[in-house]
């Protein structure tokens, strides 16, 4: 939802600023914008949080759900996002254009999360959390194989889209395991 707007704006505005200015000026811009946002946020009314009483249980052996969630996050958030610029590298493309292209796909990842998450919940309610979760993991893996065999754009979009479903359903799996 709302927490995605900041990263989306940065991913879309950052490459434009880089093209118009220097990296130093771009970071000054984001630093000043962040400082202004912090000052403005200090004037917002404070929300009252109602404490929730719960017991934290720690299990040294992760469930299959937790392990799959970890692996999915590791490969998509940790590997794919870090290497996305390398995936799209072409000597004929300027570094600024390459940064803009990577920014576009990373913005797609954020934007699609906002729109995909509600549908993930609806499908999980209709067909069952386990089924939808496993299908999303499987299709995330299919996206990796598409990237591996050269269908980079289709693979990146597939991986990001279905990993968003996995991410949206992960909190539901934790609640399910706690009961």
pTM above 0.75, yes or no: no
Give the pLDDT band (50/70/90) at residue 166: confident
- Residues 19-61: pLDDT tens digits? 788 877 876 887 787 788 778 777 777 666 666 555 656 555 6
pLDDT above 90: percentage of residues in the chain: 13
**Per residue in 138-173, is it b (16+ CB within 10 Å) or e — as a string?**
ebbbebbebbeeeeeeebbbbbbbbbbbbbbbbebb
Phi, psi of 91 (to 5 degrees): -55, -20
60 secondary structure, DSSP code: S
């Amino acid at each position: 939802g709302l927490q995605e707007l900041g990263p989306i704006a940065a991913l879309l505005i950052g490459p434009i600023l880089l093209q118009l200015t220097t990296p130093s000026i771009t970071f000054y811009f984001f630093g000043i914008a962040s400082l202004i946002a912090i000052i403005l946020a200090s004037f917002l009314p404070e929300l009252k949080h109602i404490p929730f009483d719960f017991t934290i249980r720690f299990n040294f052996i992760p469930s299959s759900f937790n392990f799959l969630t970890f692996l999915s996050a590791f490969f998509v958030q940790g590997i794919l996002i870090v290497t996305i610029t390398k995936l799209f590298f072409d000597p004929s493309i300027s570094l600024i254009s390459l940064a803009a292209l990577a920014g576009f796909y990373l913005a797609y990842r954020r934007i699609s999360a906002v729109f995909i998450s509600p549908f993930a919940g609806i499908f999980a309610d209709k067909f069952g959390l386990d089924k939808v979760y496993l299908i999303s993991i499987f299709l995330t893996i299919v996206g990796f194989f598409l990237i591996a065999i050269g269908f980079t754009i289709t693979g990146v979009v597939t991986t990001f889209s279905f990993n968003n479903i996995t991410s949206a359903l992960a909190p539901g799996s934790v609640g399910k395991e706690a009961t």
